[in-house]
Structure 1
Amino acid sequence: MTSVRILSLLKHTTLLCAAFAFSLGSASAQISTAPDSSSSTSVPSSESSSSTLQLVDDAGGPGNGIPGLAALPAAAAPNGSGGGQYDNRGGHGGGGAGGIRSHLTYEVGGGVNAPSSDSSPYITWGGNVTVGGGYRFNKNLAVMLEYQFIDDKVPGAIIAEAGATGGNDHIWSLTLDPVYDFNPKSSINFYATGGYGFYRKVTSFSDPEPQQFCTYFYCGVVTQNVTVGHFSSNQGGWSIGGGLSHRFAGWNGDGQMRIFAEARYLDVLSPAITTQPNGLGTTAVGADTKIVPVTVGLRF
């Protein structure tokens, strides 16, 4: 009787264990298959490879709906669409804020002129004024269009030949002049320059003559130098020289204005002339006018 009861107890125990194991297996199968059914209906097969990399929740943000997963950074903008708040690629030479205006350069200056030994019998000391503008191709090379006006005196021997009491030479020019900077990034810069262009030279003689002078309250006669004779010539000319410039620091150490001082050798290819200007005495002037203009000014 005892053995029969033991066998009956073992039989019931075995049946209970088998039923418990079967219930556990069916529950785990339901849990593992639930996500597969939902994902198979929401993600197309053609985009399965890309969807595994994005992890987008229902709110539209990367990783916001998944616990413990930090939000992923936004993708970098393409090169042509701007760089957002911290994009500082704009600047000179790249269009936009730069462009052609960032390459333009200007100058203004003045100084004195000294005649060469060859021209000293025909022209003396004087002064000059120079203005110009141009285009800077790079940090080293610029090309300037320059206007220069030179006012020098005529030597006493030439004035005496003409029978006048005074005289001057006026030379104005329009030239194309390359400028090459050897160390443009330094505050102290050495440069070479020169050029060729059109020159007009006018030699005038004057005598003091009485002239009427009037104001709102008074009229009288004063003595002034009046041009009594002149001759002129139009020709080409060239110059070569160099100088030194110093760059101002500006507010942030990036100023573009420079003060410069330069000297050039100038040869105005004027012809030899023998003439009687406006009935004055016979006057002879040799060919070529060679002077050394020394100029101080600003470039920006």
Structure 2
Amino acid sequence: MRWPGLPPLNTLLPFEATVRHASMTAAAQELHVTHGAVSRQIQNLERSLGTTLFERQARALRPTPQARQLAAVVRDALDQIDAAARQISHRTTAGPLTLSCEPTLLMRWLIPRLPDLAANVPGVTVHLSAGGGPVFFERDDIDLAIRRDDFPFPEEVSRTRLFAERIGPVCRPDLAARLTGAADLVGAADLTGAALLHTGTRPQAWDDWRRITGMTAEPASEQTLEHFYLTLQAAVAGVGVAIAPYAVVRDDLERGQLVAPFGFVPDGTGYHLLSRQPPERDARVRRLTAWLRAETTRLEADSDQA
């Protein structure tokens, strides 16, 4: 045999999935086989190699360092085989791409731009799903996700940077004029006396803005709403002043529904497009990624001037 050290090939898919999930049950679900089938293949692989690949504990399955090393090589090999097969295949990938996006960004930035997506990226259908935090591609049947990098991304996912998060106070123009005596708020020293609106999903937003800018914002009153889109709706209604990311209020600023007294400052985080595999392996993902990059490049350019 040309490769005398090669283990049984039918053991490698269950092994790689088990290492990635640290769970035989999750691996079995991904591969659509039984837990027992995965367990038998792992045992066959361990016998073939003459070594133990997992530390079996009461409620956990921990891959050994040797297992992680082998799994990384197996994953690279499978990626190369997959890429080569796609290059020579005449099959056309069909069906919609499922894109998960944080709810407020989805509602206030992405959905209004869907007509442009349909016009400029024909043939790519996108199914949208609202979601935030860690992404579970296989479990939730998601192809792509837009996420803010305020939590660690898994090493194995492909990521494309989209834009930096920039935050600033926003309020209705007439409220701004009453608070400062100047309709455009230029040169205003602080927001003392304003009603400050907080968001339950990002409770430190005002503290972050104070820390970054050194400005004060001693409130006359405070109110917390559960989600950003509720907080921003309250700001549009004139209830008070909200801290907002530029991306989700850009259209409101253009329409004159909101003003940004002090502009926007980067808070050190950013948004990324996460995918199961690199965009170049799927023409649909590649085209959607290119469109998102073009849109977010314009977004960043506009935020620098806001």
Tell me the TM-score normalized by structure 2.
0.24
Select the structure of larger CA radius of gyration: 1
Tell me the TM-score normalized by structure 1.
0.24
Q: Which has the higher helix share?
A: 2
Q: Which has the higher strand share?
A: 1
